[in-house]
Amino acid sequence: MLDRKFLRKEPQIVADAIKAKNEKIDIELWINADSKRRALMLQIEDLRKLRNELSKAVSMKKRNGENADSEMNKSREIGANLSSLENEVAEIDIQLAELENSFPNIPDSDVPLGGEENNVVLRSWGEIPQFDFAPRPHWDLMEGVFQPEAAGRIAGSNFILFRGWAAKLQRTLISWMLDHHINSGMEEIWAPFVATPESMTATAQLPKMDDDMYRIGRDDLFLIPTGEVPLTNLYRDQLLEEADLPVRLCGYTPCFRREAGSYGKENRGLNRVHQFEKVEMVRFEHPDRSDEAHQELLNHATGMLELLGIPYRVLLLASGDLSFAAAKCYDIEIWSAGQKKWLEVSSLSNFRDFQARRGNMRFRPAGGGKPQFVHTLNGSGLALPRLIISLVENGQQADGSIKLPGILAELMGTEVIR
RNA sequence: GGAGAGGUGGCCGAGCUGGUUUAAGGCGUACGCCUGCUAAGCGUAUGUAGGGGUAACUCUACCGAGGGUUCGAAUCCCUCCUUCUCCGCCA
């Protein structure tokens, strides 16, 4: 959510951001409703003041045993007036809230304008593996341990069922990544995998992503589409002390996505599924340090890829590719040798105070003074299916066996999976 | 699922037979004083949001959320959420 004062003062910046993010909403609607609301509030507050004074007079007179009928009648009239004005304001408030929820965050000034084609590759690491045979896609290499048909029988199409070493590999990676985060000072969180509409609104999956999420209608809950939701909402409506910052969290969660209308070749195998596992990093930062924190999250995520020996590149997303709530976002893409393409395995965003304002997450400055909104950041660290794709496809050998990077070989108890 | 008890400012906690409470008091925090340091003590200030004014300042709202009763609601009524205790059910 954007600050109302900002909306009043800088409508053009907001309009530009709406355009840059390809949203369709008109700020004029908000401006009109807001000024109408303020005019009404002026009247309401005057009437309330009058009524408060009358009330006081009634109270005094009654205590002295005097008659207060005329004050009470006046007050009654005011009450009738007030309730009709208050109803008007209530309607406007609903409009305003809807509009405010629909304004996207403002992209940072260093974010390139335009769509996906304007994303900038900031850096890359590692050599793209070469083979003296034709490398195969993961669904071939994982035949027997990755069984989409079995998953389909259980839950419908586009779900994952792993067995044997694939199941163990996933569990091992989750555990290793969490330990990696914990060792760098993050606190591990195990949170609910469902969340209320309020939580979804605070992190801004609602209203925009409604159609992309699974909803449990009977209890009005959503299956979380990312660990960002529970980890960030941990501090919804909370007041932190400056000394508490930064709060550095990590946690494993499954992520549920309807991926409505996305079928086809691009989505074969593990590329795009309805449920995937992910380790998420979330950070609550002092506004002055969020840029630095963003870099740290990025370096932390890429550090893991370097340990695993997976070639990657880092993209700075252009405005049109930026999510609704983000001010700035880096994507990390890793190489898929079998499919010969880059796969997004992590998205690291700085939301500045956008989510904090929606979720009322604040801190009290060290020297006292008014509470301020924190900055929230998050990033995948990392998403499992595509990481597994890359490990399997990049590590494949001519006979179809898979060579594991040293660190994983140790954890899995074998250097080569057959 | 059933019964009961709670939800008040950063925290604790009074008020809850409706009207000088426009939320007491304490803790914490900030500043100052005093004690030759420290501890203790004393004094003052200190909720959030919005509006008006150049300004000292001032007005309005907020006591889990939303409705209702009333001239007037933290206080009475209804619905919902949530926490705790007991019972039931359950991996």
CB A319, CB A109: distance < 8 Å: no
Count the Cβ atoms, other than its own, within 10 Å of residue A284: 27
Structure tokens given for A348: 């690291």
**B45 C1' to A370 CA distance, Å:** 15
CB A163 under 7 Å to nucleic chain B: no
CB A189, CB A249: distance < 8 Å: yes
Mean pLDDT, contiguous 10-residue spans, chain A (418 residues)? 91 95 94 91 90 88 84 90 89 89 95 96 97 97 96 94 97 98 96 93 92 88 95 92 93 92 75 96 96 98 98 98 97 97 97 94 84 95 97 97 97 96
Please state which CATH class domain A4-102 belongs to: mainly alpha
Among all strands, which nt has the closest C1' to A63 (CA)?
B19
Supply the pLDDT for residue A350.
98
**Distance (Å, whole) CA A281 – CA A232:** 10
CB A243 under 7 Å to nucleic chain B: no
ipTM: 0.86
> Within window 88-147 on A, which residues have Cβ closer than 7 Å to strand B?
90
CB A218 under 7 Å to nucleic chain B: no
**Distance (Å, whole) CA A389 – CA A308:** 13
Three-state secondary structure readout of A130-197: CCCCCCCCHHHHCECCECHHHHHHHHCCCCCCECCHHHHHHHHHHHHHHHHHHHCCCEECCCCCEECH
Sorted by where each begins, the domain ranges of chain A are 4-102, 116-417
Supply the pLDDT for residue A358.
92
- Which amino acid type is present at position A307? L
**B86 C1' to A202 CA distance, Å:** 36
Helix (H) or strand (E) holding A50: helix A27-63
CB A23, CB A326: distance < 8 Å: no
Supply the pLDDT for residue A180.
97
**Distance (Å, whole) CA A358 – CA A100:** 10
Second-level CATH architecture of A116-417: 2-Layer Sandwich (3.30)
CB A95, CB A25: distance < 8 Å: no
What would the pLDDT profile of A107-145 be if each residue is shown by its tens digit?
999 999 999 999 999 999 999 999 999 999 999 999 999
Supply the pLDDT for residue A218.
81
> Within window 312-371 on A, which residues have Cβ closer than 7 Å to strand B?
364, 367-368, 370-371
Supply the pLDDT for residue A278.
98
Supply the pLDDT for residue A260.
67
**B67 C1' to A166 CA distance, Å:** 55
Nearest to A227 by CA among A249, A259, A198: A249
Count the Cβ atoms, other than its own, within 10 Å of residue A411: 16
DSSP class of A251: E
What pairs with residue A282 in β-bridges?
A249, A378
Give the rounded percent of residues in chain A with a pLDDT score beyond 70.
Answer: 99
Sign of CA dihedral A260, A266, A268, A269: negative
Supply the pLDDT for residue A263.
64
CB A321, CB A380: distance < 8 Å: no
